[in-house]
Structure 1
Amino acid sequence: MSELAKLTVAAARDALRAGDVTSVDLTEACLGAIETAGALNAFVHKTPEIALEQARAADARIAAGDAPALCGIPMGIKDLFCTKGVPSQAASRILEGFTPEYESTVTSQLFEAGAVMLGKLNMDEFAMGSSNETSCYGNAVNPWRRGNDTTALTPGGSSGGSAAAVAADLCLAATGTDTGGSIRQPAAFAGITGIKPTYGRCSRWGVVAFASSLDQAGPMTKDVRDAAIVLQAMCGHDPKDSTSADLPVPDFEALLTGDIRGKVIGIPREYRMDGMNDEIAALWDEGARMLAEAGAKITDISLPHTKYALPAYYVIAPAEASSNLARYDGVRYGHRAALSRGEGINDMYEKTRAEGFGAEVQRRVMVGTYVLSAGFYDAYYNRARKVRTLIKRDFEEAFAAGVDAILTPATPSAAFGLGEMQEADPVQMYLNDVFTVTVNLAGLPGVSVPAGLDRQGLPLGLQLIGRPWEEGDLLNTAYALERAAGFSQKPAQWW
């Protein structure tokens, strides 16, 4: 039974349609795997009753011949997505006890497509983090280990629980969100596939906001084909989200031919940074070679404003977070601090936010409030917005010159140990996003594909960046890279 949890979405779909397995069988296998994987701390709100009810409904739809691609597929949902009647805390104490009376658009679409929700997944608090160490639920743990070393490793962040759950075969796929790399970095650390679509491709309605001009939902899956299947169900225009694009959603899976002959792949020279990890550099070169062998043309390109991306991101994202998180004040929902006699409304605001927000969230709110303040708005926030425009223009010029996709590393290293970077300067942690934040600033689609192991046996990923709204073409290039790399390794089970 537990072998069923190891299936890909595509394989499970075919088995369901052939009548070889039922959704209830798949769901029970995943629920059993979750129960034995407490050491990973991936699932933080389990919903077995909802899962089995949805599985039975999916089996009925399949029997009736009404079976979309995701019908009957057990999935995990990141705790950032509001799910009706199920705790949706964004891994923060300030939202303790909050159970929405509504469903996010993305989860609504997944459920309409027949997906089964196994539960809510761990994450960094309000999606602020690169290691899943800021969660009120405690750390999520990567199922991979360095050889025989028992050191607990980060699954990345902020979608760390999603990455751990998919890599450990606790679910067949999971949702994630990506504000500066929070799908692609954990996917690389856990040896799975993760795609951030073009900004506006997936609705943000019902997704707890971090930085509204950067946040975008996407799938985290075992391979590229599964990413195409799940992404199609997640996408679509939503009138409730003013930034949602009213564009048709292609059949992404049908575009996976693996034929990239004649495609032009850009290699940005600015991403080859001083002190770059030699294994990451070698993998990047190998990725370019594999795409060339598949028929693509490899060309050097320049994205000259790349060096300003991290500073611009860490002005814009905290500024938007400061604005978005102002709503958590203890008045309407979530945590409210206890007051002593004589304390008033301002005391309640201060104590509630001090108790409810963790250290990293407080740090970013303070940075964001600072850069938006009257004396510094032009010096920091407006300047960062101008830099963002220049970064976007760099990509537009590369695509206008005929580049179809851009190949870069996904992360500057393999997964690091939990606690290894906690005591360091926070800026060192922020450097984990060095290859990914440009994609969010420019609103482009980006995908991380596992492409090899480092000398300690940990997975390494490569990132492909595509033209806006051309996720199908991007996924096809990723599919060609996946086939050439032949990555099939799984973590040895220790949990």
Structure 2
Amino acid sequence: MLAHELRARLARKELSPKEVAEAYLKRVQALDPGLGAFLTLNERVLEEAERVDPGLPLAGLPVAVKDNIVTKGLRTTAGSRLLETFIPPYEATAIARLRALGALVLGKTNLDEFGMGSSTEHSAFFPTKNPFDPGRVPGGSSGGSAAAVAADLVPLALGSDTGGSVRQPAAFCGVYGLKPTYGRVSRYGLIAYASSLDQIGPLARSVRDLALLMDAMAGFDPLDATSLDLPPRFQEALAEPLSPLRLGVVREALSGNSPGVERALGEALEVFRTLGFGIKEVSWPTLPLALNAYYILAPAEASANLARYDGTLYGYRAEGEELWPVVEATRGRFGLEVKRRILVGTFVLSSGYYEAYYARAQAFRRRLRAEAKALFQEVDLLLLPTTPHPAFPLGGRPDPLAMYREDLYTVGASLAGLPALSFPAGFEGHLPVGLQLVAPWGQDERLLRVALAFEEATDRAFLRTPLGEAF
């Protein structure tokens, strides 16, 4: 059952919050051992369900939370051994806002360590498997959240998107995943990877469910200086008529895709034409090079952000009395991929290399943004694949560079700070295929309105739950 349908049944008192929480907990306990979507379950969720005010807008709706978003009193690991026993003393703003409206945190979901990966194989604990095929990855780094929603272990989930970490797993798992405009959702309480890119985003099985979460979370937060004062109006926007829009198909994303992705793109364009959209091919010349800039800028920020894990403040501390041996031994618990990105980031920021790499990447980022701004003078939305292919096999990307190329179509919107939505649009065999819409800065609601039109025009043909539903 979709979240907005479940909310209606809760409001009519056909179900109680405790009954809903019990049903999802039972389903997690039965199915998650084979998927590995959750790292921690909220042992207090049934008590919280009994106490929730039934008059609240989200009363009794369970939400899964990616384990790099802090939850007061509930273990938050960021998928790392360094935070394996960390119990946060405070709450992320996004979580506080959801709880205030009656939502229940069911548990914390698996991820690539500190959000660094595209498969959820880089978790320090165990990999997550794709509900459509347990031999394949769910994507990453929000793979646990995407798998949990796809398998209906929970109706709603939060992830975080730095270079595609909500959208890519959404595509691999056949669900919706939104990366909001940078600053639209507060980052307070999101464990930092790359601060100028990180953004909390929702995952769900319908557009209306995304709107529920965004209306609850978005908005200015005095605790986050980068948050935007753009009042959310997502559910209101879904009720408005769909005006004729110009859709730009990004030329640079039309080659090198798998047959299923090409077919989904062609069929989606036909649907949009029937909806009255004007379709034109456009060029975003810097997009193919965005991956290079991203893997300079994001590791650079990561090298600074992860310097705090030194055994002196919180989290794991290696034994010893001498400071630097303790710091060295503590940081030795970082996973291989995290170490790799820290080293890259430290290198590009070092004397003699800063101008050659980091400064040039920042200049490229400004050019990318300028090109995107010019494109949106021609069209109202951009359409391109979320990924060039469906989910790949577990262990199928042993080469780090091959893994990095999974972000080929998603990093552009991240570097430009633009809102982008991955939506289910087809299948390649039994595996889901996702396409991506990108909107101008601050036009997140437009993405959802257009995606809803596609969802309704296709009669939800591309939305499946491979393991059945909880309700």
Counterpart in the other structure of 1:122: 110
Contact 1:260-1:295 within 8 A present in 2 as well:
no
Is residue 67 from structure 1 mapped to residue 56 from structure 2 by the alignment?
yes
Contact 2:260-2:427 within 8 A present in 1 as well:
no
Is residue 476 from structure 1 mapped to residue 470 from structure 2 by the alignment?
no
Query: Residue 158 of structure 1: CA displacement?
Result: 0.4
Is residue 256 from structure 1 mapped to residue 241 from structure 2 by the alignment?
no
Contact 1:259-1:294 within 8 A present in 2 as well:
no
Q: Secondary structure at the match of 2:165?
A: coil
Write the mapping of 1:192-207 to structure 2, written as runs, cut at 5 A. 192-207=175-190
Counterpart in the other structure of 1:322: 303
Contact 1:261-1:294 within 8 A present in 2 as well:
no
Distance in 2, matches of 1:489 and 1:176, equals 20
Write the mapping of 1:175-194 to structure 2, written as runs, cut at 5 A. 175-194=158-177
Distance in 2, matches of 1:203 and 1:393, equals 25
State the one-letter code of the partner of 1:469. G
Counterpart in the other structure of 1:83: 71
Query: Residue 484 of structure 1: CA displacement?
Result: 2.8
Distance in 1, matches of 2:278 and 2:82, equals 51
Is residue 242 from structure 1 mapped to residue 216 from structure 2 by the alignment?
no
Is residue 442 from structure 1 mapped to residue 416 from structure 2 by the alignment?
yes
Counterpart in the other structure of 1:428: 402
State the one-letter code of the partner of 1:237. F
Contact 2:151-2:467 within 8 A present in 1 as well:
no
Q: Work out which of the residue numbers 327, 330, 342 in structure 2 matches 1:365.
A: 342
Is residue 489 from structure 1 mapped to residue 464 from structure 2 by the alignment?
yes
Write the mapping of 1:38-437 to structure 2, written as runs, cut at 5 A. 38-49=33-44, 51-58=45-52, 61-62=53-54, 66-68=55-57, 70-145=58-133, 152-250=135-233, 252-257=234-239, 259-273=241-255, 275-339=256-320, 344-354=322-332, 356-401=333-378, 403-421=379-397, 423=398, 425-437=399-411
Query: Residue 278 of structure 1: CA displacement?
Result: 2.4
Computed over aligned residues only, the root mean square deviation of the Cα atoms, in angstroms, reads 1.4
Distance in 2, matches of 1:487 and 1:398, equals 29
Counterpart in the other structure of 1:3: none
Query: Residue 259 of structure 1: CA displacement?
Result: 4.6
Query: Residue 72 of structure 1: CA displacement?
Result: 1.2
Counterpart in the other structure of 1:4: none
Contact 1:267-1:299 within 8 A present in 2 as well:
yes
Q: Give the % identical residues.
A: 45
User: 5+ residue gaps in structure 2?
Assistant: none
After superposition, what is the alpha-carbon deviation per residue over 1:419-478, rounded to whole angstroms, capped at 9, x for unaligned? 111x2x2110011111100010000111111111112x1110111111111111110011
Distance in 2, matches of 1:48 and 1:169, equals 19
Counterpart in the other structure of 1:17: 11
Distance in 2, matches of 1:330 and 1:379, equals 33
Distance in 1, matches of 2:354 and 2:254, equals 32
Q: Secondary structure at the match of 1:195?
A: strand
Is residue 453 from structure 1 mapped to residue 453 from structure 2 by the alignment?
no
Distance in 2, matches of 1:492 and 1:14, equals 23
Query: Residue 57 of structure 1: CA displacement?
Result: 2.4
After superposition, what is the alpha-carbon deviation per residue over 1:138-176, rounded to whole angstroms, capped at 9, x for unaligned? 10111112xxxxx52111100011011111111110110
Q: Secondary structure at the match of 2:159?
A: strand
After superposition, what is the alpha-carbon deviation per residue over 1:241-287, rounded to whole angstroms, capped at 9, x for unaligned? 1101122222x1221248544111111111123x3222212211211
State the one-letter code of the partner of 2:448. L
Distance in 2, matches of 1:109 and 1:53, equals 19
Distance in 2, matches of 1:462 and 1:481, equals 11
Could you say if the C-alpha distance between residues 258 and 181 of structure 1 is closer, same or farther in structure 2, counting changes exceeding 3 Å?
A: farther
Query: Residue 215 of structure 1: CA displacement?
Result: 0.3
Distance in 2, matches of 1:393 and 1:257, equals 32
Moved over 6 A (4+): none
State the one-letter code of the partner of 1:419. G
Q: Secondary structure at the match of 2:160?
A: strand
Q: Secondary structure at the match of 1:36?
A: helix
Task: Number of aligned residue pairs: give it.
Answer: 466
Contact 1:218-1:234 within 8 A present in 2 as well:
no
After superposition, what is the alpha-carbon deviation per residue over 1:385-426, rounded to whole angstroms, capped at 9, x for unaligned? 01111111111001123x1111110111111111111x2x21
Is residue 26 from structure 1 mapped to residue 20 from structure 2 by the alignment?
yes
Query: Residue 117 of structure 1: CA displacement?
Result: 0.8
User: TM-score with structure 1 length normalisation?
Assistant: 0.92
State the one-letter code of the partner of 2:326. M
After superposition, what is the alpha-carbon deviation per residue over 1:341-363, rounded to whole angstroms, capped at 9, x for unaligned? xx721111111101x20000000
